[in-house]
Structure 1
């Protein structure tokens, strides 16, 4: 079971921030072989959803109020360390993220930019594709909405 913590940027410890950036780099840059600018200046306005197994960060997502990333409240940078994906922690971190958006931002609609190979994963969480696929940092993505 994950220990899920929700923090504003200013509440993150230096170690937590380092662990977040390391996890995102490990998966999005190294594992997916994608050179892109992860530190995009948006972390300071995001809510951070951290999933710990014991004391190790193994899952993460960042959340935005409407207007900070998309017109709708949104979830991004959803990531689980490779050796823990079989535990279904992606599901856990997404469910926690959806709950936080509903509780803290009164979200009735949530938008994500999903990597296309994860469509079924997001469909199972209630997200539906909208629009056409597009490349984001060289990886096929699709916009998805949950009502």
Structure 2
């Protein structure tokens, strides 16, 4: 298994297909949450993924400033069913934060976090900066990280 980070333009067709398939499996099917998966933000994003052959094990996208928020943001954060509890989410978050700080030379990150994951994100230095709100019928909070 190998971590990779790619721009949209560098993604291979099969990688893009598998990313979208896995995101739909997790966010639309598993969480029973119909929403528009293809939101045009992928085109501007960096795509961080852990692959086992062609399978996407863990994934998130890093959005530059101005795409979703004034700050850099992370989204579509997921680990595939069957691979959870192995520490991949923690490893992925650390890699994403390092990429933002070192490659993008940014010190602020904003996320929209599912409320049940607040403690997980707090462990990386994110703080809650909003009240709870519903996004696709799931309780969320905005969280903010600053180095």
CA RMSD of aligned residues (A): 1.1
Normalised to the residue count of structure 2, the TM-score between the two structures is 0.95
> Secondary structure at 1:105's aligned position in 2?
coil
Cα offsets for 1:45-86 (capped at 9, x unmatched): 001001123552100000011111100111100010011011
Normalised to the residue count of structure 1, the TM-score between the two structures is 0.95
1:104 shift after superposition: 2.0
- Counterpart in the other structure of 1:53: 52
Point out where structure 2 has 5 or more consecutive residues left out of the alignment. none
User: Where has structure 1 moved over 6 Å in runs of 4 or more?
Assistant: none
Q: For 1:38 and 1:55, how far apart are their aligned partners in 2?
A: 20
> Secondary structure at 2:78's aligned position in 1?
strand
Q: For 1:125 and 1:53, how far apart are their aligned partners in 2?
A: 26
- Counterpart in the other structure of 1:97: 96
1:16 shift after superposition: 0.2
Q: For 1:54 and 1:88, how far apart are their aligned partners in 2?
A: 19
Q: For 1:106 and 1:130, how far apart are their aligned partners in 2?
A: 23
Q: For 2:137 and 2:54, how far apart are their aligned partners in 1?
A: 34
- Counterpart in the other structure of 1:72: 71
- Matched-pair contact (CA < 8 Å) for 2:65–2:72: yes
